Amino acid sequence: MVWKVVRGIYSFIAVLIICVLIFIWFFILSTIPLIGLSNTPVESFSIRLWNRAVFRLFFAKLSVKGLEGYDPKKPCIIISNHQSLVDIPTVYEVFSGPVKMLGKAELFKIPFFGWALTAAGLIPVDRGNREAATKTIELTKKRLSEGVQIWMAPEGTRSVDGKLGAFKGGAFRMAADLNLPIVGLVLNGTKDVLRKKSFLVNPFQQINAVVLPAVSMADVGAIDYKQFRNYFKAKFEETLADIS
């Protein structure tokens, strides 16, 4: 009973601080492009500073394997499984290169918040609109030409129990169309910190991350994006089982 009360108070304070930090973070990210510092060490430092604040507030520990083969300067699409909102700071903590994520188009329509997302160079995705999908591809090409790596979550939504959901084809189709390699990031433990549809934080959790080698369709002998997707689904299932 006492722990539930303490946890509730702690969660309220931690989430409140995170909300304030998010507001400050997006203000900084939306200001950086205005002074010509997009995709620079200044932007990377501001992101990493926010990541560290989140991990310290949640008293979370992060273990990363497989980074030795990662090239922060090589254009690629990064994909990860999606267990929690904590995946976001985890991805940005793992990868040192300039990374921009694709987010739901609805988020970009929120006053101020959506403007900050756009100014920070994030990319809106509207799955039900073909015209918008074409714009997403063009904007992605633009970001890639700027030396940015693109992050997507092929499951499309957070897992309730941490199990791997079905992979949608968007990331793999995009990689095929743009002739880009994909870097996989397998996460486990973020769900234990903050579960879907909950604001109760579980502190002192261990988060494990495994970076898979960058591979193209040709590298794995895939003849279409569907085979490419199936290759990564199998790799994610195998790796997730190893770190669970």
* Domains of the chain as residue ranges with CATH: 2-243 (3.40.1130)
Angle between helices 41-58 and 2-31 (to 10 degrees): 170
Tens digits of pLDDT across the chain (244 residues): 777 888 888 988 988 888 787 777 777 777 777 777 777 777 777 778 888 888 999 999 999 999 998 999 899 999 999 999 899 889 989 997 788 888 777 767 766 666 666 766 778 877 666 677 778 888 888 888 888 899 999 998 899 888 999 999 989 998 998 899 999 999 999 999 999 888 899 999 999 999 999 999 999 999 999 999 999 999 999 999 999 8
User: pTM of the entire structure?
Assistant: 0.88
- Please say whether the beta carbons of 74 and 213 come within 8 A: no
Who's near 168: CB < 8 A, 6+ residues apart? 154, 155, 156
Question: Taking the CB of residue 66, how many other CB atoms lie within 10 A of it?
Answer: 17
Query: From residue 73, how far is each of 70, 99, 141 by CA, in Å?
Result: 9, 10, 16
Which two structure tokens, joined as six digits, stand for 236? 């994610």
Amino acid at 50: W
- Please say whether the beta carbons of 42 and 131 come within 8 A: no
- The alpha carbon of residue 9 and the mean position of all alpha carbons in its chain are separated, in whole angstroms, by 28
Q: How far apart are CA 195 and CA 158, in angstroms?
A: 9
